[in-house]
Amino acid sequence: MTRKLSRADRLVHHFDAALRTLVPGAAPASRPSPATRDVRDGPMETEERRHAAGLMRIHHTGEVCAQALYQGQGLAVGLPERRGQVEAAARGQTNHLAWCYARLHELHDRTSRLTPFFYVASFGLGVAAGAAGHRVGLGAVAATEEQLGKLVDKQLERLPRGDQRSRAVLRQMRIDEAHHAQLALEAGAMRFPTPVKAGMSLVANAMAASAYRI
């Protein structure tokens, strides 16, 4: 028989999830990285490698934001089935978080110093979305996955030609984001109006610009 988790248990669980998200390399991947041994980089100059690392830092930060959003929702929602849907979405993003960190490590670079700030802000938004109801919460999942997919599309065009390993990671992430968004919509997600999506896009662009440099 499965023991029902108390509120204290859930708080401990979410604290553990936050640490796994924020501590570089602490989030384990359940799927192997698309950047397998068979995927090899072409020649890249030092500046190209630095640029590639900046782009992957953006995606690592984006995945941190997604994790925080879903973890905030998981804390706010009351019904176990609703909480399960949100936590399943968070688990799907854990692979992306681990893949991006591994690629940053390969490029001998670091994660964004602004990660804790973005985590806290996204967690707060997640709590608000979770408290707003089932359709709004799932709508936040769908809209977030859509924004992450658009970000991937944009950065794929900006990657140096020789960076094939980052390209392999981002292409699989793009497939996964579209799948996660579709699952949320099929589960009854609210389709956010265009002005809300435009606002999310502005925030995503601001995050990308800052995470690339800092």
Annotated binding site for Fe cation: 63, 96, 145, 177, 180
112 and 61 in contact (C-beta within 8 Å)? yes
- Binding annotation: 63, 96, 145, 177, 180
- DSSP-derived secondary structure letter, 3: P
What six digits make up the tokens of 182? 């579709």
Q: At what angle do helices 115-131 and 46-76 cross, to 10 degrees?
A: 30
CA-closest candidate to residue 14, choices 112, 118, 99, 126: 126
Q: How far apart are CA 55 and CA 75, in angstroms?
A: 31
CA-closest candidate to residue 59, choices 155, 168, 143: 155
Q: At what angle do helices 134-158 and 115-131 cross, to 10 degrees?
A: 150
Q: How many CB atoms lie within 10 A of CB 148?
A: 25
